[in-house]
Chain A
Amino acid sequence: MFDTLRPLWPLILRYRWHYVIGSLCIIASQALKLQIPRFFWGTLGELKQAGDLPAAEARELILWASIWILASALLIAPIRTASRILILGSSRRLSADLLADVFERMLALAPSFYTRNPTGQVMSRAINDREYVRSLGGAVFMYMAETGVLYAITVPLMLLIDWQLALMALAPYPIFLVLARRIALRIQTLSRAAQNALGEISEKVDESLSGQMVIKTLNLEDADLERFRLRSEHYRALNLSVTKWRALLISLMMGLALLSTLLVLGVGGSRVVSGDLDFGEFGVLLTYLAWLAVPTRTLGFVISSLRRGTSAFERLREILDHDLELFHTETGTEHEVRGGSLRVQNLSVTFPALVDEPRLAGSEVQDHVGSERDVPRRVLDDVSFEVPAGTTTAIVGHTGSGKSVLARVLARQLEVDPGAVFIDDQDLTEVPLDVLRAQIGYVPQDAFLFSEPLHDNVALGNPDATEAEVLAALEGAQFAEDLDQLPEGLRTLVGERGVNLSGGQRQRTALARVLLLSPRLLILDDTLSAVDTRTSEAILEHLRPFAAERTTILIAHRLSSVAHADQILVLEEGRVVERGNHEELLALDGRYASTWRLQERSAHDAERAARLEAELADLPAPGADPEATS
């Protein structure tokens, strides 16, 4: 366990003085607190013998003892507060630092990390697991320090007062602690099961309400209620067993205190009578024993926190120690991207079997059943081509032909072996990521928008862009008309918490983002898939002068949008099977040509369908009499 937690040390050391002073405060407050029963019972002991004392002296004794108790109490309060603020506060700071470290790592992790691991998994580490780790440096530390100091002071004192009696009273502790630990673990397991059961209830309600129409029409209410009842009853049963075990644990702990108290009362009482034990010391023993039993009540919580904290930290380390994946080989020379020519030389990419890929535990492998994805797959096979600076190369192929992977490799989103891809004759892996990213404009198919104003989303790469520049970029992406429909124009909040833009609108926003930066190398990975044909033609038309000055990689499904490219590569199962320009490929009469013909025809059909649809929509809503319109 401690090995696992070792990387936590540097963080803890940052707050070492907080912890040291906090611990000193704990020692001080415990030591003071343990004096209080000595004053109280000591005075009672003196009073018992008070026959020998003059009344005034006894009165003074009482007064001073009371003052000492009051003074201790008043002194303990700020010290105790300080110890808690220091230690619990440090744990909060530590947790914030830990989150900052996690976030720093997240900033550096390769894009492929995020495609492999669902956001939920990353979030649950950054939030839930971090909370568990925090409790190690906070509540758990506090408990261990307080309990440790309490036992360290009390036990020797008790042994000093009457070692035989103290040993007898403390004898049952070890046995009880072992038992308590077992019960605590059982409670932890049951609680987790109960939590899951509640999750199942929640899922069930979701399922039933989403399907309420179907359930009603099929008369499935009773069957559905039965399923809900089963889950609810399961949850109830788990809750009840948690309660049962909790009650048992508390009874055990109270029983422990009870046993030792009665032992001291009986044996110690007789010794007081026989004069072997001072009455005051007898009382101190009684009080200390009662106090020693208190921490055992929360023992279960501490044990489970320790376990949870350790495994949570292991899960956090999955992110903190995760491979960055994108490596940059330092060469010492200055790198620059000027023209943006690309050369791909015998590029092969093999995806490891999905199950072997490094991913966060709990990120389920999708479609696991009967999937051939359990074996390594070669997604790009010996691909070579050249893209002279300022030209446009289109890549076409079926879904799964590897064209997106190729785009991601060129955009430096996926790691690639050295010696396969060159930009301006420099190996891609030797150019610093920063330099590359400044000159590559990559627009993926799924356009993500941040919950920020549209303006900021477009100005993502250049926050200093003027409004005119942002508008120009939006215009280039044919977004100008849509802008009028947004309630607050450029200031409209978009993204998850804002106005829900359509897929096509999102894609065009993403395109505008890149246009604003005017990078040397433009990579459009099926960027306009959700944009209707007419608009996408307009965009491509508009892009042409822009693209003429840049190196452009264009990936598309619609062949009509790639026909103008200087070079077209047809990919199939990771291999380039045809290459050339549009005319050459048509002349070749291969796959490209046949797909082209097919698409031409369906485009024709679609056009006809659109015309009919428009015609239909224009028809007046007919009257109730069907004869009236026909």
Chain B
Amino acid sequence: MSAREVPPKDEHRVAFDATIARRLWVYLAPHQRWVWISFGLLLFTSVLGLAQPFLMKLALDRYVAPTPEYAGDGSLDGFGWLLVVMFACALGELLGRAIQTYTLTLGGQNALLDLRLAVFRHLQRLSSSFFDRTPIGRLIGRVTTDIESLNEMFASGVVTILGDLVNMLAILGILFWMDWRLTLISLVAAPVLVLTTLWIRGRVRLAYQTMVTKRSAMNAYLHEQSAGMPLVQAFRREDRTRAAFDAINADLCEAQLGTVWWESVLSALTDMLSSVTMALILWYGGGLALKGLGMSELQADLAGAVTLGTLVAFLQYMDRFFGPLNELSLKYTVMQSAMTAAARIFGLLDQTAVTPEPDQPATPGPAAGAIRFEGVTFGYGEGTPVIHDLSFEVAPGERVAFVGATGAGKSTLLKLLTRLYDVDAGRITLDGFDVRELGVKDLRTRIGIVPQDVFLFSGNILENIRLGHPEITEDVARAAARDLHLERITDRLPGGLMEPVRERGSNLSSGERQLIAFARVLAVAPPVLALDEATSNVDSEMEHLLQEAVARVMQGRTSLIIAHRLSTIRDVDRIVVMHKGRLVEEGTHDELMAKRGFFWRLHQLQYAGSEDGGDA
């Protein structure tokens, strides 16, 4: 199923755009030597290719059907040598072409690899708010489908279109030089046929577009019906479903027959062009050859006649002329879609929604971990802010829990602290420095974050603990795992710590994934811990392991915890209660409970009935 998106109307439909070409060149430039080698080889093979019909003419005129000046002696001395030269030319052309194709692909593939990595790197730098408004599916298309369209440009030889044109011009020159009248006559049919071909190609393209639309309709229908088939049967809708299917199927078949029709005409027409040209060469050239019979090459030339060899060479040159000509319109289409794809890719690369880096990042010493929110206001996009004028302070080494109903803005705090989003007003400081003054990487290294839904990479568990930090030795990683009793979960896995993690960690529970994330923080040892506890239910053993892990990881760190568990709330130094983006209460657990205010009610709500989980 091709889920190709329909391009917006205002997109490029041009075959060539100088700006885009220049930007593409930036990626091709480092590998340009391959392209130049390829061009050089193209010229080389072209010359070898052009020589062959001429050598054929020599072979015919001098040896096989000799003109008077070569006739008579019947000696074949030079013939062998001529054959050797012809063989060398043809072999050279053949090998040259093979190497030319390969070097061009090599240059193209290298450039596209760079481009692909550049697009990926750019995607990494784009801010989180960009991803809030852009569907991931479309971005995947940029990195895959669109770059493939560019690849097609190299693979189909569009890049060498210039070489083709030079080659065709050279052939025309030779033809005119050999006999200009015969050339004109032979080309008489060409314009009509070429124009007709172009027109038919247009029809083929249209027919294809129709067909693709119908095919997606069929795919969508099949997809839905096979998903809902038991219902179709249960509600005895088979007859109507069959009728609807038949209509779509017939529709699709008709559209496909349309493409078959035009393609068949096109293929026959291309074939006809070369035969018609042959007839014209024979008709007019035959007359000239008749006139030149018995004349030497020079005489024939002066009399405006041709030799038999010239006639044969003419035919061969014509074939070499029409071949690329027929491909031109095909290449035009490839180029058009490549340009469209490139425009889309550069459109993405032009996205400036990256997290701004300070020009001269502040370089504070080893962090103590003092955090201040000063009058912070923030909202996702338009609409009401989710954080209103929020201020609080966390001293180095202090453990603070944030509680509040869903939507109170707790998780947003962590996103602001780590600069996934930037504040709209106010500022956040770490050890006295505005987080926007620190290098983004530096900032994020100072904060060890454990998100609600831990993201694991494919690889084994140990690799996931060390991920992104090659400086962490395997021993340190193992020690961290040991400290958090990771063996309690890894012992159940056949590979232990070396157990491969499946895509996004789907073979581990969310509690297990969080435990691995804790080990990651412990191994990296940042001064600040930012934890968003998992809300999902975990069994009592996991609950216990997580509790121990939180306590262990909080030790000696400034800790900000989005708390969902009673136990964590009891262990912290201070609790900050949030409601609708504002701070409503703060204090220790006992203070807040004694107050019987907001926290107390929240506590009642969140932990009502949490002691059982009965299920019939």
| Whole-angstrom distance between the Cβ of B415 and the nearest chain A Cβ | 7
Q: Cβ of B602 < 8 Å from any Cβ of A?
A: yes
- Chain B residues lying within 8 Å of A222, measured Cβ to Cβ, are 468
Q: Cβ of A50 < 8 Å from any Cβ of B?
A: yes
- Chain B residues lying within 8 Å of A438, measured Cβ to Cβ, are 236
Q: Which of B182-196 contact A (CB under 8 A)?
A: none
Pairwise interchain contact B267-A80, C-beta atoms closer than 8 A: yes
Interface stretch of the complex, out of A150-158, A245-253, A333-341, A417-425: A245-253
Pairwise interchain contact A448-B219, C-beta atoms closer than 8 A: no
Pairwise interchain contact A437-B282, C-beta atoms closer than 8 A: no
Q: Beta-carbon contacts of A191-225 to B below 8 Å, as 1s and 0s?
A: 00000001001110111111111111111111111
With A207-B503, A396-B616 known as contacts, the answer to whether A214 contacts B451 (CB < 8 A) is yes
Q: Cβ of A186 < 8 Å from any Cβ of B?
A: no
Q: Beta-carbon contacts of A91-109 to B below 8 Å, as 1s and 0s?
A: 0110110011001101101
- The answer, among B76, B241, B278, B441, for a CB contact under 8 Å with A40, is B278
Q: Cβ of B551 < 8 Å from any Cβ of A?
A: no
With A84-B264, A623-B582 known as contacts, the answer to whether A460 contacts B286 (CB < 8 A) is no
- The answer, among A207, A223, A239, for a CB contact under 8 Å with B105, is A239
Q: Cβ of B44 < 8 Å from any Cβ of A?
A: no
- The answer, among B63, B90, B420, for a CB contact under 8 Å with A216, is B420
Q: Cβ of B35 < 8 Å from any Cβ of A?
A: no
| Whole-angstrom distance between the Cβ of A179 and the nearest chain B Cβ | 15
Q: Cβ of B598 < 8 Å from any Cβ of A?
A: yes
Q: Cβ of A434 < 8 Å from any Cβ of B?
A: yes
> Can you pick out 18 interface pairs between chain A and chain B where the beta carbons lie within 8 Å of each other?
A66-B280, A74-B272, A80-B267, A126-B226, A198-B148, A208-B124, A223-B468, A229-B117, A232-B113, A243-B155, A255-B91, A273-B63, A438-B236, A496-B224, A598-B614, A622-B582, A626-B585, A630-B585
What secondary structure prevails in chain A residues at the interface with B?
helix
With A69-B278, A123-B226, A216-B444 known as contacts, the answer to whether A630 contacts B597 (CB < 8 A) is yes
- The answer, among A207, A213, A228, A282, for a CB contact under 8 Å with B451, is A213
Interface stretch of the complex, out of B139-147, B342-350, B393-401: B139-147
Pairwise interchain contact A615-B601, C-beta atoms closer than 8 A: yes
- The answer, among A96, A513, A606, for a CB contact under 8 Å with B249, is A96
Pairwise interchain contact B605-A609, C-beta atoms closer than 8 A: yes
- Chain A residues lying within 8 Å of B433, measured Cβ to Cβ, are none
- Chain A residues lying within 8 Å of B584, measured Cβ to Cβ, are 622, 626, 629-630
Residue of A nearest to B106 (CB): A240
Q: Cβ of B507 < 8 Å from any Cβ of A?
A: yes
Q: Cβ of B299 < 8 Å from any Cβ of A?
A: no
Pairwise interchain contact A44-B113, C-beta atoms closer than 8 A: no
Pairwise interchain contact A599-B614, C-beta atoms closer than 8 A: yes
Residue of B nearest to A255 (CB): B94
- The answer, among B56, B240, B308, B601, for a CB contact under 8 Å with A612, is B601
Pairwise interchain contact A217-B265, C-beta atoms closer than 8 A: no
Q: Cβ of A342 < 8 Å from any Cβ of B?
A: no
- The answer, among A107, A397, A451, for a CB contact under 8 Å with B238, is A107
Pairwise interchain contact A251-B95, C-beta atoms closer than 8 A: yes
- Chain A residues lying within 8 Å of B390, measured Cβ to Cβ, are 624
New A-B pairs, 15, CB < 8 Å, besides A62-B282, A247-B97: A59-B287, A66-B282, A69-B282, A80-B271, A99-B249, A211-B504, A216-B420, A251-B95, A437-B236, A450-B228, A598-B612, A608-B609, A621-B580, A622-B580, A622-B582
Pairwise interchain contact B616-A595, C-beta atoms closer than 8 A: yes
Interface stretch of the complex, out of A263-271, A347-355, A477-485: A263-271
Q: Which of B96-126 contact A (CB under 8 A)?
A: 97-99, 101-102, 105-106, 109-110, 112-113, 116-117, 120-121, 123-124
How far does the alpha carbon of A517 sit from the alpha carbon of B236 in the complex, in Å? 12
Pairwise interchain contact A272-B64, C-beta atoms closer than 8 A: yes
Q: Cβ of B279 < 8 Å from any Cβ of A?
A: yes
Interface stretch of the complex, out of B164-172, B253-261, B562-570: B253-261
- Chain B residues lying within 8 Å of A244, measured Cβ to Cβ, are 102
Q: How many A-B residue pairs have CB under 8 A?
A: 409
| Whole-angstrom distance between the Cβ of B366 and the nearest chain A Cβ | 17
Pairwise interchain contact A44-B105, C-beta atoms closer than 8 A: no
Q: Cβ of A72 < 8 Å from any Cβ of B?
A: yes
| Whole-angstrom distance between the Cβ of B519 and the nearest chain A Cβ | 13
Q: Cβ of A119 < 8 Å from any Cβ of B?
A: yes
Q: Cβ of A73 < 8 Å from any Cβ of B?
A: yes
- Chain B residues lying within 8 Å of A534, measured Cβ to Cβ, are none
Q: Cβ of A393 < 8 Å from any Cβ of B?
A: no
How far does the alpha carbon of A442 sit from the alpha carbon of B616 in the complex, in Å? 22
Residue of A nearest to B140 (CB): A205
Pairwise interchain contact B279-A69, C-beta atoms closer than 8 A: yes
Interface stretch of the complex, out of B79-87, B202-210, B329-337, B479-487: B79-87
Pairwise interchain contact B144-A205, C-beta atoms closer than 8 A: yes
- Chain B residues lying within 8 Å of A499, measured Cβ to Cβ, are none
| Whole-angstrom distance between the Cβ of A142 and the nearest chain B Cβ | 10
- The answer, among B86, B226, B249, B272, for a CB contact under 8 Å with A119, is B226
Pairwise interchain contact B59-A269, C-beta atoms closer than 8 A: yes
Q: Cβ of A557 < 8 Å from any Cβ of B?
A: yes
- The answer, among A36, A59, A114, for a CB contact under 8 Å with B290, is A59
- The answer, among A73, A93, A369, A626, for a CB contact under 8 Å with B272, is A73
How far does the alpha carbon of A3 sit from the alpha carbon of B420 in the complex, in Å? 61
- The answer, among A114, A397, A460, for a CB contact under 8 Å with B237, is A460
Pairwise interchain contact B449-A218, C-beta atoms closer than 8 A: yes
- Chain A residues lying within 8 Å of B63, measured Cβ to Cβ, are 269, 273
Q: Cβ of B545 < 8 Å from any Cβ of A?
A: no
By CB atoms of chain A within 10 A, which of B105, B235, B264, B315 has the most? B235
Pairwise interchain contact B98-A248, C-beta atoms closer than 8 A: yes
Pairwise interchain contact B246-A66, C-beta atoms closer than 8 A: no
Pairwise interchain contact B236-A265, C-beta atoms closer than 8 A: no
With A73-B279, A214-B454, A214-B455 known as contacts, the answer to whether A219 contacts B444 (CB < 8 A) is yes
| Whole-angstrom distance between the Cβ of B98 and the nearest chain A Cβ | 4
- Chain B residues lying within 8 Å of A240, measured Cβ to Cβ, are 102, 105-106, 109
How far does the alpha carbon of A100 sit from the alpha carbon of B76 in the complex, in Å? 68
Pairwise interchain contact A123-B76, C-beta atoms closer than 8 A: no
How far does the alpha carbon of A54 sit from the alpha carbon of B510 in the complex, in Å? 99
Q: Cβ of B149 < 8 Å from any Cβ of A?
A: no
- The answer, among A111, A433, A595, for a CB contact under 8 Å with B229, is A111
Q: Beta-carbon contacts of B591-616 to A below 8 Å, as 1s and 0s?
A: 00001011001101100110010111
With A48-B308, A251-B95 known as contacts, the answer to whether A96 contacts B242 (CB < 8 A) is no
- The answer, among B98, B256, B579, for a CB contact under 8 Å with A621, is B579
Q: Beta-carbon contacts of A59-72 to B below 8 Å, as 1s and 0s?
A: 10011011101101
Pairwise interchain contact B418-A217, C-beta atoms closer than 8 A: yes
How far does the alpha carbon of A220 sit from the alpha carbon of B260 in the complex, in Å? 51
Q: Beta-carbon contacts of A582-617 to B below 8 Å, as 1s and 0s?
A: 000000000000010011011011101100110111
How far does the alpha carbon of A84 sit from the alpha carbon of B389 in the complex, in Å? 74
Q: Cβ of A453 < 8 Å from any Cβ of B?
A: no
How far does the alpha carbon of A497 sit from the alpha carbon of B457 in the complex, in Å? 32
| Whole-angstrom distance between the Cβ of B390 and the nearest chain A Cβ | 8
Pairwise interchain contact A44-B257, C-beta atoms closer than 8 A: no
| Whole-angstrom distance between the Cβ of B255 and the nearest chain A Cβ | 9
- Chain A residues lying within 8 Å of B369, measured Cβ to Cβ, are none
Q: Which 5 A-B pairs have the closest CB atoms?
A: A605-B609, A73-B275, A66-B283, A84-B264, A598-B614
How far does the alpha carbon of A104 sit from the alpha carbon of B229 in the complex, in Å? 11
Q: Which of B417-434 contact A (CB under 8 A)?
A: 418, 420
How far does the alpha carbon of A269 sit from the alpha carbon of B78 in the complex, in Å? 13
Residue of A nearest to B87 (CB): A262
Pairwise interchain contact A624-B582, C-beta atoms closer than 8 A: yes
Pairwise interchain contact A243-B290, C-beta atoms closer than 8 A: no
Q: Cβ of A329 < 8 Å from any Cβ of B?
A: no
Pairwise interchain contact B144-A73, C-beta atoms closer than 8 A: no
| Whole-angstrom distance between the Cβ of B520 and the nearest chain A Cβ | 7
| Whole-angstrom distance between the Cβ of B179 and the nearest chain A Cβ | 16
Q: Cβ of A127 < 8 Å from any Cβ of B?
A: yes
Q: Cβ of B321 < 8 Å from any Cβ of A?
A: no
Residue of A nearest to B316 (CB): A290
- Chain A residues lying within 8 Å of B279, measured Cβ to Cβ, are 66-67, 69-70, 73
Pairwise interchain contact A463-B609, C-beta atoms closer than 8 A: no
